[in-house]
Structure 1
């Protein structure tokens, strides 16, 4: 993507007063928690689950909720950045992406700014590692790691598509249930879209008839536990583009939200002065696919659907 480069920011710490206020001892203990948790995710060990303790995860999840809840429903992300689509529990491929976006043997995770478009959990074998890895880096580099909500970051979905079962396989049932509820409590607060360099609108799903201005997204109240609370939020997580369609129609394949045509993309980009729209949500055989004269691109970053693809966008 041709996004103008700007100097990278320094390593950030979560803002004071957002879950990090208090005594120096309290701040020091949280820093140790963050560093210890991050070290667990610095490399991938083939075939090995990370040995998480429930108490450890309780603390991390509480920290993450404070940070995520403080963010806008529409993130403002500086360029350059790497944009990543669906991950779906493929922890090995998440690390492969970090390596491919790094240089001189260093992981890109400590060098680059990232925007993740959601669907971190379900279907793949290591949903817990994926979401915990992203939480670990978000705690360490909160302005370099930007996390959006996908449609699988919803309790009614991830209870049935793998995440809840994975937790039950790794913890006793009361702990698994509590962890699942706590993770979904954070998911309910995740931002719904991002604007990169003021020109590229990004979301997991797509656009809908209720999106007329960027303030429409900024004004969405979170947490959102039920998509019936906001039709626009539902479209941002669930909508799909359709070739040769004009306007919007009900999304009969998903059973929720809408499908949108090329005319809606062109009109929105013109009205909001956008260069393009980037979304995820659909499997692309080549890892990405263009729509509407390259005004929209779908990015799919779970390459075990097609293991030879490197499915992310970087500049």
Structure 2
């Protein structure tokens, strides 16, 4: 009997060992997958924030460029009849109705206070949605799951409706239409992307131009004004503050209620007092500053319809821009992010706003008798996040934000007891067909591709940094030195040692062959027409060049002359202190002008300067 019992005991032992082995393997595999997911999302976020920093650092130059623009009305076809105007794009809402919708939206927005007040006493609950960023599928899914806006189904949309996605215009049309039907039941807060300078960089301007062609100048011009009239925040039951970014130690809700919000067409254009000091810091001469100011006044006169103006007794028209205090207050509430550490420090990752800690939240809550702060502005993998002991809620409604399967979207519902209830979703046609490893592989591949492009754009700086750790010129550095050089140039705060196997090769001694960072990347022609430094510069600043191109393309035709672009390049390189030979650039632009008609399509120009990933192409072939 004893022998008979020992046999099943040995079998049970083997079964348990096998189960433990499988469990350990599964946990190890899932941990590696999770690690890959996390560093991929860190890459996306770091590059996004670095891009925002570039935008803010160049805001002075973009303001300078805008001051030399002519009246945007120049693109209008004033002789076209209403009949011709209506029947042009059957797949889009007619420009005539778009302009009517925007004009009516602006009229109603002007009647709204800076901070909107809502109450749960009139409905069972209120739904708050975060960033949508042009993802129409997400908005439609929210309406499908939660119901359309109505008097019994109230909504707060917390900014960043546009940019990055393909259907920003459709989202605005839907939201503005519902807002006009239920103006007391829908609140539309302003986000940091409801800003025409941000739109030039992140895609909305291009989307409107592509969809509405010759009518896009009027639409964009009117949208600039509509965005400036969007309310800055919403308060529910005097207890829940909803705004796009966050708060700071200087946030003053009473002051925000009284300022003239429409004066801030773009937060990237500094107030005059700040702008003058910044210009002097950057070494601009007094004479240049005077000339700049004079041109600014001329610009303001030419565009008095869109700027806040005052008429002096003499009859001259002078632009009345925002004060430094107004600009700072709105900048903080649209750009700031919460952090777990106490205090209020500059938001160095984004380049604007601040990081605010639990003590800052507590101070504002005590001052205004608040209970919850709901904000958006920040990517969250699960679509929402709770911080500062449950007092701060981040809600992000754009699913698949970085890549298919990268995150869920979410919205939050508040009942009369002000207890938040989160609803997650993910609008996807393909993700459900993939397993976890395949989804993470797709995200990782896209993230590494973006990172490699950024590495190529900083090729010269990286080589100089590597060379400092390689005084003998061997072409090899230690992994520690390689990681230090990468961070010193790119400032992305990424786990470089973990990423090293994906970005560079090592020799038999375990040292990094730093030039291998660029082996698997190359540039499409026509680089033979330009010096290498120029190609790298164009790669790095192509988004900024696109903004400048859009500023100069007054009729939104997508074309400017070779001469105009050459002049723009000289201004741009002069502002950035880039050492490039102008004759090389002239030859390059002429080579891109295939039909030699003296006009350049900037999309074709950018397409000539994109990074080709040779490894991926070989794998695909």
- TM-aligned CA deviation for residue 309 of structure 1: 3.0
2:604 alignment partner in structure 1: none
How far apart are the structure 1 equivalents of 2:410 and 2:143? 12
Per-residue CA shift, 1:173-221, capped at 9, x if unaligned? x311221111121001111011111100110001022214x31221121
SS in 2 for 1:195: strand
Ranges in structure 1 where 5+ consecutive residues have no aligned partner:
1-48
Question: Is 1:153–2:153 an aligned residue pair?
Answer: no
Q: Give the structure 1 partner of residue 13 of structure 2.
A: none
**Residue aligning to 2:248:** 208
Counterpart pick for 1:242 among 327, 332, 339: 339
The partner residue of 2:259 within 201, 210, 220 is 220
1:291 corresponding residue in structure 2: 387
* 2:185 match: 144
Residue correspondences, number: 260
Equivalent pair of 2:159/2:192 in contact (CA under 8 Å): yes
Flag as ranges the 4+ runs of structure 1 deviating above 6 A: none
Q: CA deviation at 1:81?
A: 0.9
Q: State the distance in 1 between where 2:134 and 2:225 align.
A: 19
Instruction: Show the 5 A alignment for 1:106-117.
Output: 107=148, 111-117=152-158
Give the equivalent residue in structure 2 for 1:166: 207
Q: 1:50 to 1:241 in 2, by over 3 A?
A: farther
Cα RMSD between the aligned structures? 1.7
Tell which structure's C-alpha radius of gyration is larger: 2
Distance 1:123 1:293, change over 3 A: same
TM-score (norm 1): 0.79
2:231 aligned to 186, 191, 196, which one?
A: 191
Match of 1:95 among 133, 140, 149: 140
1:16 maps to none
Alignment partner, residue 267 of structure 1: 363
Note closer, same or farther for the CA distance 1:126–1:110 as it changes in structure 2 (3 Å cut). farther
Rounded to whole Å, the distance in 1 between the matches of 2:367 and 2:399 is: 35
Secondary structure of 1:194's counterpart equals strand
CA contact (8 A) 2:381 2:407 kept: no
Whether 1:313 aligns to 2:409 is: no
**CA-CA distance at 1:300 after TM superposition:** 0.1
Q: Which whole-Å CA distance do the structure 1 matches of 2:255 and 2:194 have between them?
A: 21
Query: Relative contact order (alpha carbons < 8 A, sep ≥ 6): 1 or 2 greater?
Result: 1
Deviates more, 1:49-58 or 1:59-68: 49-58
Q: Distance in 1 between matches of 2:149 and 2:217?
A: 34
| TM-score computed with the length of structure 2 as normaliser | 0.41
More displaced 10-residue stretch of structure 1: 222-231 or 180-189: 222-231
Structure 2 unaligned runs (5+)? 1-89, 271-321, 415-621
Does the 8 Å contact 1:121/1:163 carry over to 2?
yes
- Structure 1 residue 111: deviation in Å? 4.3
- Tell me how far apart the structure 2 counterparts of residues 163 and 50 of structure 1 sit (CA, whole Å): 18
Contact 1:208-1:248 at 8 Å conserved across structures: yes
